[in-house]
Structure 1
Amino acid sequence: MSADSSEPNPVGTASDGQFGRLRERLTGDAGREQPDTALVVLAAAVATAVLSPVVWLGWRASRLGIGEAIRLAASDTAVDVLANSLVLVGVVTAASVALGVPLAVVTVQTDLPFRRLWTVLAALPLVVPSYIGAFAYVSAFGPSGVLPDLLTQYGLGFVTPYLPTVYGLGGTALVLTLFTYPYVFLTTRASLLSFDTTQLEAARTLNHSYPRAFRRVILPQIAPGVTAGALLVALYTLSDFGTPAIMRYDVFTRVIYVELNAFGQSRATLLSLQLLAVTAVILALESRVSADTSSGYGSPASASPVVSLGRFRWVVTLLPAGVSLFTLAFPVGILTMWLVRSGPGYSGGGLAFEPAFALNSAYAAALAAGVTVLFALPVALYAGRSNSLLARAVERSTYIGYAMPGVVLGLALVFFASQWLTQAVGVGVARAVYQSLPLLVFAYVVRFLPQAVGATRSSVAGIDRDLVGAARLLGETPSGAFRRVTLPLISPGLLAGAALVFLTTMKELDTTLILHPTGFTTIVTYIWRVQEAGYYGRAALPALVLVAVSGLSMVPLLKGSDDA
């Protein structure tokens, strides 16, 4: 045969196949329409922008010497803060499981009276921002609260010094448990609604009592749901700032905020890195639980009661009724009382609530919602059209800011605006950016981008590609097909994402406190200022407004609740 024979080269064929498969994994699935290069570039740019706060924090940390970092990490303050944070997370998580699981069981698997009502009420504490709950409890049981006033009014003021304090670990854990247990309740309830009840019936035919059958049959299968909810509680507890700050319990978020205001930026930086490390561990655990799709569900699930409570029906009702009392009726009642009550709570000149504060909140939230949707659109389109590793990496990167505690995000952007820009561009630009509305809006975008991406991506995934293809065959350009076909189909997802971002931004506390422009007072900054001054009556109206606004975000969940 001649030297230039056309026989195939096995080595070259294998190599080409490997590179081809690798290219398909990185850039898209075989046989699928590849996303436009411009779309990929835009999505990657959004991902880069979202990741930038981590870069600024790392840049500031790199300026710490090894010796200084070790000294700060081994200091009594750092050790105490780490211990306090871990203890709080452990207590709140355990208490939320102890409260959320029984509530899920009695509202799904028993003939509890008014099950649907109790289901809705058990989920509603998510409406109340935890710092509003903390404010309500402090204004009721704190040194200047309702209870000491009543005791003094009836001549029992001498009892006040002997009352247990609402501050510290106990009060913080109580408030966070009351307003975060719905995460466990909802995930456990979802698992119970998917449970194959024929397995329980089989266990009962083997003379297993319900408690024994629950322990041996039900619990192993709902454990992933319980664990997922518990990890969400742990993540929220670790990142919450308002409740520990109001309850005066030193955890990562409170001490970082204090150090930032006291110009202790080195210590704040190190504590932020430690907080991110603990957060990463919780996220890794949550990811493993979410990836575990194994289950024993076989037959279609039933939401019909499987346990009769008999004569204990009304006794068991005390559980959801008592929880609703302390999570809904009590805080709303306290806020309403402060609203209508006259007295010292309304004194203090210059602290009156103004409608402009609400307008400022709505303005910033509307800007954040609009910009977030614009950022989310290329990411959702790219992730919805491609299953490549790059597409998944871009989508996952948008969740970094959502997982990052708001106080850490605010700190990172302070470093960017006040230090990096000063060195890289100049003092004039740094002053224009620092504590400006665009920087605050950017922080909101980083924080809440996943909400818009998730809603929009679901709409993108539901588009029939044949419709877009038909538009192209009829002569439409790619941009024309997007404008006339894709955009109208995904507009419900875009609007839903924008609404969710708007509502969440309205009640965002720590990021707003750190980055809001000077003189730009919002509802949350006003509440924070007057509660620190002890003028509880002044905070009642804006607090109730926030509860009402937060309630709107629960409408989709409650509309989808099915207790048939």
Structure 2
Amino acid sequence: MSTTSPGLLGRTVADPVGRLGLAVSAVLAVLVVTPMVGLVASTLRPTGREAWSDVLTGRLSTSLFWEPLGNSLLVGAVTAAGSVLLGGGLAWLVVMTDAPWRKTIALLATVPFALPSFALALAWETVFRNDLVGGRAGVLADLGVAVPDWIAWGPVPVAATLIAHYFSLSFLLAAAALATVNGELMEAAEMTGATRLQVARSITLPVVTPALVSGALLAFAEGVSNFASPALLGLPVRFQTLSTRLYGAITTGQVERGYVLALLLVGVAATILFASNRIVSGRRSFATIGGKGGRRAVIRLGRSRGPLTALAFALCLSTSVLPGLILLASSFARRTNSFTGGFTTHFWVGESDPSIAQGQRGVLLDPLIIDATLTTVGLGLSVAVGATLLGTAVGYVVVRLRGLAPVTGSLTLLSYLPFLIPGIALGAAFIAQFGRPIGPVPALYGTFALLVIAGIAATLPFAAQAGRSAIGQISRDVEEAAVVAGAGLARRGGRIVLPLASRGLLAGASLVFVNIVRDLSLMVLLVTPALPLLSVLTYRYASEGFAQFANAVTVLIVLLSVGATVLARRLEGPNQPWREAAS
């Protein structure tokens, strides 16, 4: 080791790309490793060690940890099962069958993931809320329909809204896998006498299983760590999950307990995602793409063509279009959650009126909302630029650095690590590390800089993946010719790499922007009243009973998110499995 390490370091420093890799590794260590180390260190102090015992074995451990853990696992399991069932079924319909309007169904199926999870939760509450917890009941109750408590509050609506949000993820993964199934293999199997069920079990299912397993476990991890839906639909009836219990602990001054819960939440999510990777990587591979090419399999649906297409449209419209329409309509309702009491534009453009909403102005005239909109857009753009530049650097080093696997391996690990950390736990880590001065660096809590740094860290996996993909499409020959002409690393990057990779990088930046604009879990602990964001204002309005304002602000977020998502899809071009299937 004594001879190997200096040699590796020397070769790394001698290579300009290696030096870039070392610099990027240092930045990632500050962004990712340091906050987690600070979080762990905070729980090892005397008060922190006491918090560990309180959370795991103390008199209140059942309500602090074990009951929220059980609720989180329940919600995660139901979310995973529902997401795979709906997403996998839609992917099969779009990619493998002759159903009409497949492009439209596919487009609608990807919209829910672009929506904030709290948009679906607010839409559910607007329709199904009853009078169990007080306040104005929902649309159905206003029409005289008795809504059971288990539909209005608790695990059922939480899981339902999370399924509606995350089934898009399973759809995308399953569609990409099904697109590789060679139709000639299926036809050959049918010619030997195999039934459609046998073909599906022996050919289609083995190919798509890794994608379904990945989608299920990713949905499980997201369901376990999601904050918005449990907070809006569970907290009013004391249905606690790990994320809501963590938020409650920190916001009520039980900071050490909150940090302990954050580490436990990280452990649960990381275990699930690690299991996903092991299960998928441990499966046998199935070669379905040969050198001779192959035709896409098309299953004739016959009489079931119409009913299945109608069912798919109903599912997609109820999870993509209908929630937006409900939120928009309810933001104009004169009475909260009532479509029979008349409509007004006050909550959008009304001046202050003491008799309405405690004198608050409409969202388009309220300086607080305008400030929050500008801050949200500015934060999204800042994080998109910062994460994209850092992700491009990571991708460039990983793709271009030859013979230095330890450097590229560490970069890959560090860039993927934030994916294992739930947003609210990452927010707690940044508070633990940067909430107090560090040498000459002042405390960053409550500053725009901390929001940008945390946003870059949280979205780094998306940006790094986009960077690797974009750089991987650029031939080494182009840069080698520039090297011969005497161009240095900086000039090659500015004059060759970035222009050629710009399309893919812009698509990645758009997705980063969407993630930040709609994010609540990460920002809910980091934002202060002096620095408002739209997502956090939405949660505060909803918690305080100002449903019209909450829904109106959510519509603004949806417009920003969907607009950026459409831009990303256009930049991706025709490289989508259902486009080829429908052609």
Partners in 1 of 2:277 and 2:326 — Cα distance?
Answer: 39
Q: How does 1:314-393 map to 2 (within 5 A)?
A: 314-344=306-336, 346=347, 347-348=356-357, 349-350=359-360, 352-353=362-363, 354=366, 355-387=370-402, 388-393=405-410
Q: Deviations over 1:248-272 (max 9, x none)?
A: 1311111100111111122212211
Residue 198 of structure 2: aligned partner: 212
Residue in structure 2 matching 1:429, options 439, 442, 448: 442
Residue 341 of structure 2: aligned partner: none
**What is the SS of the residue equivalent to 1:160?**
coil
Residue 254 of structure 1: aligned partner: 244
Q: How does 1:123-522 map to 2 (within 5 A)?
A: 123-143=110-130, 144-151=136-143, 156=144, 160=146, 162=148, 164-248=150-234, 249-289=239-279, 291=281, 294-299=285-290, 300-305=293-298, 307-344=299-336, 346=347, 347-348=356-357, 349-350=359-360, 352-353=362-363, 354=366, 355-387=370-402, 388-419=405-436, 421=437, 425=439, 429-430=442-443, 433-522=444-533
Could you tell which deviates more after superposition, 446-455 or 141-150? 141-150
Q: Structure 1, unaligned stretches of length 5 or more?
A: 1-14
Residue 83 of structure 1: aligned partner: 70
Q: Normalising by structure 2, report the TM-score.
A: 0.84
Give 1:231 shift: 1.7
Partners in 1 of 2:400 and 2:161 — Cα distance?
Answer: 43
Partners in 1 of 2:501 and 2:191 — Cα distance?
Answer: 50
- Aligned residue pairs, count: 532
Give 1:192 shift: 1.3
Q: Deviations over 1:95-136 (max 9, x none)?
A: 212222222222222221222222222222212221110011
Is the contact made by 2:189 and 2:199 (CA closer than 8 Å) also made in structure 1?
Answer: yes
Counterpart of 2:105 in structure 1: which amino acid?
W
Q: 1:512 to 1:37 in 2, by over 3 A?
A: same
**What is the SS of the residue equivalent to 2:465?**
helix
Is the contact made by 1:241 and 1:510 (CA closer than 8 Å) also made in structure 2?
Answer: yes
**What is the SS of the residue equivalent to 2:377?**
helix
Is the contact made by 2:97 and 2:300 (CA closer than 8 Å) also made in structure 1?
Answer: yes
**What is the SS of the residue equivalent to 1:399?**
helix
Q: Deviations over 1:359-383 (max 9, x none)?
A: 1211122222233234334323322
Q: Deviations over 1:17-49 (max 9, x none)?
A: xx6799669967xxxx93445413311211211
Give 1:67 shift: 6.0
Q: Structure 2, unaligned stretches of length 5 or more?
A: 131-135, 338-346, 348-355
Q: 1:166 to 1:519 in 2, by over 3 A?
A: same
Counterpart of 1:350 in structure 2: which amino acid?
Q
Kindly report the root-mean-square deviation, in angstroms, between the aligned alpha carbons of the 2 structures. Answer: 2.9
Partners in 1 of 2:296 and 2:10 — Cα distance?
Answer: 43
Q: Deviations over 1:157-196 (max 9, x none)?
A: xx63756442111111111111111111221121111012
1:96 matches 2:55: no
Whichever of the two has the greater Rg, that structure is 1
Q: 1:119 to 1:494 in 2, by over 3 A?
A: closer
**What is the SS of the residue equivalent to 2:253?**
coil
Residue 56 of structure 2: aligned partner: 73
Q: How does 1:107-118 map to 2 (within 5 A)?
A: 107-118=94-105
Counterpart of 1:383 in structure 2: which amino acid?
V
Residue 553 of structure 1: aligned partner: 565
Q: 1:162 to 1:339 in 2, by over 3 A?
A: closer
Give 1:557 shift: 4.3
Counterpart of 1:276 in structure 2: which amino acid?
V
**What is the SS of the residue equivalent to 1:435?**
coil
Partners in 1 of 2:192 and 2:465 — Cα distance?
Answer: 45
Partners in 2 of 1:76 and 1:374 — Cα distance?
Answer: 45
Is the contact made by 1:463 and 1:489 (CA closer than 8 Å) also made in structure 2?
Answer: yes
Counterpart of 2:472 in structure 1: which amino acid?
A
**What is the SS of the residue equivalent to 1:303?**
coil
Is the contact made by 2:182 and 2:297 (CA closer than 8 Å) also made in structure 1?
Answer: no
Counterpart of 1:190 in structure 2: which amino acid?
A
